[in-house]
């Protein structure tokens, strides 16, 4: 199997800060505490009148105030996906102890994943164009709509002048952004990288599009029970929004300044299914290759992984094929793995999912807590009878964990994190 090319002695990369904006709350504490408590962030859509939609529920961010993170004038004109990114980025920088400087801004960059950018602004501006004419289109329309303005504005607000990039690889975008930022530090392109994912597309067009695909759950009368990965009664995913950003840092750089080291980034895999627009490859073959690639990149064996934060979307094919792929990669050790899908509580944040779930994976290692898969009332026999940590969080020492993300177009991303002192 082909492997990602790596230099002979890559620099070690650690996580020194986290920032989260999720349907469970604004900030790391409310988001992580909510997940550990098995709390659902899913409810009726309030952003627009969804009464004509087959799916009328979502994981909305309800307690967010952009002016808490941006100057008031800028906050008014900034699209949510950008504001969420600035908020999570500021949180991560502050948690890492970098808000007062202590780093070379030319060697500090931002790499975020975003699947659809400012789709809501696109919808509103198109209405303005049709009803009021081209002269009424805002000059801020293009800059505020494009996905890469999220890392762009973060860099402007924080003064990070190093690599500035955006991935748009659907549901794997946040994981790919983290993996590529990891590579940049490994290869000495940067010392510090803010990386993760963001999305805010709870809009009429987005929801209508996913409804047309029959991809969304229509359990509208029980929104908190709608996202049910690996359950036999699952009927689709629930769209969510938010941002998850990690502060990645070269290990010696972090140690020199006495930074809090939460975990180490150990491995990264990226593959393509070359199969279908939306369906995963047969038997999860591309998923399995991606997990194997991440393990090889980390120089690890499958039995060293204790926990997997699964992609676990609550769609029939994804959950089944991801389970088949896990069994293929881990063999008998699959029965000993703890596997959970935090999407059961946050919904599916699309391009933001990988960033949020990577943060949850780091916190699981740091705190020794495996978040649950809620709503797993009738485990699907097709999902192999593995340990999906149903209903309640579990205390367990975790030395190494994996975070999976698989997107439309057959694009796959996997990250491996370890405890700071992990030696294999």
Q: Which pLDDT tens digit goes with each residue over 9-28?
A: 789 999 999 999 999 999 99
Claim to verify: residue 246 and residue 316 sit in the same structural domain: no
Which among 208, 198, 236, 173 is positioned nearest to 45, based on CA atoms? 208
Residue 3 has pLDDT above 70, yes or no: no
Residue 211 has pLDDT above 60, yes or no: yes
Choosing from 171, 206, 211, 290, the catalytic residue is: 171
Query: Quick check: is 9 in a domain?
Result: no
Q: What is the pLDDT of residue 8?
A: 64
Give φ, ψ of 216 to 5 degrees. Answer: -100, 150
Query: Which of 225, 256, 287 is the last residue before a domain boundary?
Result: 256
**CA angle, 360 as apex, 356 and 365 as ends, to 5°?**
150
Q: What is the pLDDT of residue 6?
A: 54
The CATH number given to whatever domain includes residue 348 is 3.40.47.10
Claim to verify: residue 206 and residue 301 sit in the same structural domain: no
- The mean pLDDT value for 190-198 works out to 98
Q: Which residue has the higher pLDDT, 282 or 189?
A: 189
Query: Quick check: is 424 in a domain?
Result: no
Q: What percent of the chain has pLDDT over 90?
A: 93
Query: Which of 208, 233, 256 is the last residue before a domain boundary?
Result: 256
Claim to verify: residue 198 and residue 329 sit in the same structural domain: no
> To the nearest whole number, what is the mean pLDDT of the chain?
96
- For residue 231, the enclosing domain spans 14-256
Query: Which of 219, 235, 256 is the last residue before a domain boundary?
Result: 256
Distance between first and last Cα of the chain: 23
Residue 7 has pLDDT above 70, yes or no: no
What digits encode the pLDDT tens for the residues 25-57? 999 999 999 999 999 999 999 999 999 999 999
The partner residues of 14 in beta bridges, in order of sequence, read 249, 264
Between helix 119-132 and helix 204-212 the angle, nearest 10°, is 110
- The mean pLDDT value for 318-345 works out to 97
Q: Is residue 348 classed as helix, strand or coil in its secondary structure?
A: strand
- The mean pLDDT value for 131-155 works out to 96
Q: Kindly give, in sequence order, each residue whose CB lies less than 8 Å from that of residue 4, ignoring residues fewer than 6 positions away.
A: 268, 269, 270, 293, 297
| 311 included as an active-site residue | yes
Cα gap 33→36, rounded to integer Å: 5
Choosing from 81, 176, 253, 348, the catalytic residue is: 348
The partner residues of 164 in beta bridges, in order of sequence, read 110
pTM of structure: 0.96
Q: Kindly give, in sequence order, each residue whose CB lies less than 8 Å from that of residue 247, ignoring residues fewer than 6 positions away.
A: 15, 16, 17, 18, 92, 93, 95, 96, 98, 192, 193, 194
- The mean pLDDT value for 288-303 works out to 98
| 171 included as an active-site residue | yes
Residue 292 has pLDDT above 70, yes or no: yes
- Number of structural domains in the chain: 2
What digits encode the pLDDT tens for the residues 339-393? 999 999 999 999 999 999 999 999 999 999 999 999 999 999 999 889 999 999 9
- The mean pLDDT value for 72-95 works out to 96
Cα gap 20→40, rounded to integer Å: 16
Helices (H) and strands (E) in the chain, counts: 13, 15
Claim to verify: residue 272 and residue 230 sit in the same structural domain: no
Claim to verify: residue 306 and residue 402 sit in the same structural domain: yes
Claim to verify: residue 252 and residue 274 sit in the same structural domain: no
Choosing from 81, 290, 311, 383, the catalytic residue is: 311
Q: Kindly give, in sequence order, each residue whose CB lies less than 8 Å from that of residue 64, ignoring residues fewer than 6 positions away.
A: 21, 26, 80, 83, 84, 87
Give φ, ψ of 51 to 5 degrees. Answer: -60, -25
Residue 2 has pLDDT above 70, yes or no: no
Claim to verify: residue 320 and residue 389 sit in the same structural domain: yes
Q: What is the pLDDT of residue 4?
A: 47
């Amino acid at each position: 199997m082909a492997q990602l090319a790596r230099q002979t002695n890559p620099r070690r990369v650690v996580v020194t800060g986290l920032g989260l904006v999720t349907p469970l709350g604004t900030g790391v504490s409310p988001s992580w505490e909510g997940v550990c408590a098995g709390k659902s962030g899913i409810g009726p859509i309030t952003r627009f009148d969804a009464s004509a939609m087959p799916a009328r529920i979502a994981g909305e961010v309800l307690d967010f105030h952009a002016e808490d993170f941006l100057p008031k004038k800028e906050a008014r004109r900034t699209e949510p996906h950008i504001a969420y990114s600035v908020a999570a980025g500021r949180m991560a920088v502050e948690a890492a102890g970098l808000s007062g400087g202590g780093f070379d801004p030319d060697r500090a960059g931002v790499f975020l994943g975003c699947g659809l950018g400012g789709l809501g602004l696109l919808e509103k501006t198109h209405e303005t164009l049709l009803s009021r004419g081209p002269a009424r289109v805002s000059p801020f329309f293009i800059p505020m709509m494009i996905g890469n303005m999220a890392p762009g504005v973060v860099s402007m607000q924080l003064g990070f002048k190093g690599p500035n990039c955006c991935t748009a690889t659907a549901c794997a975008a946040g994981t790919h952004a983290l993996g590529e930022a990891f590579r940049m530090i490994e290869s000495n392109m940067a010392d510090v990288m803010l990386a993760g994912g963001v999305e805010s597309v709870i809009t009429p067009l987005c929801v209508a599009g996913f409804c047309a695909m029959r991809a969304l759950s229509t359990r509208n009368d029980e929104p908190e029970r709608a996202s049910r990965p690996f359950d036999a009664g699952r009927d689709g995913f629930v769209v969510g929004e938010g941002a998850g950003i990690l502060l990645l840092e070269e290990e010696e750089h972090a140690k020199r300044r006495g930074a809090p080291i939460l975990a180490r980034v150990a491995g990264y895999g990226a593959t393509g299914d070359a199969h279908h627009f939306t369906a995963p490859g047969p038997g999860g073959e591309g998923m399995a290759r991606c997990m194997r690639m991440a393990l090889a990149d980390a120089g690890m064996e499958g039995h060293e992984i204790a926990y997997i934060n699964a992609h676990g979307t609550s769609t029939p094919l994804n959950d089944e094929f991801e389970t088949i792929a896990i069994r293929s990669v881990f063999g008998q050790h699959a029965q000993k793995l703890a596997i959970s899908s935090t999407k059961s509580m946050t919904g599916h944040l699309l391009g933001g999912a990988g960033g949020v779930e990577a943060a949850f994976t780091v916190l699981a290692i740091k705190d020794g807590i495996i978040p649950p898969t809620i709503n797993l009332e009738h485990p699907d026999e097709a999902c192999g009878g593995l340990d999906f940590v149903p209903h309640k969080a579990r205390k367990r020492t975790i030395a190494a964990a994996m975070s999976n993300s698989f997107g439309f177009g057959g694009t796959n991303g996997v990250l491996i994190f370890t405890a700071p002192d992990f030696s294999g």
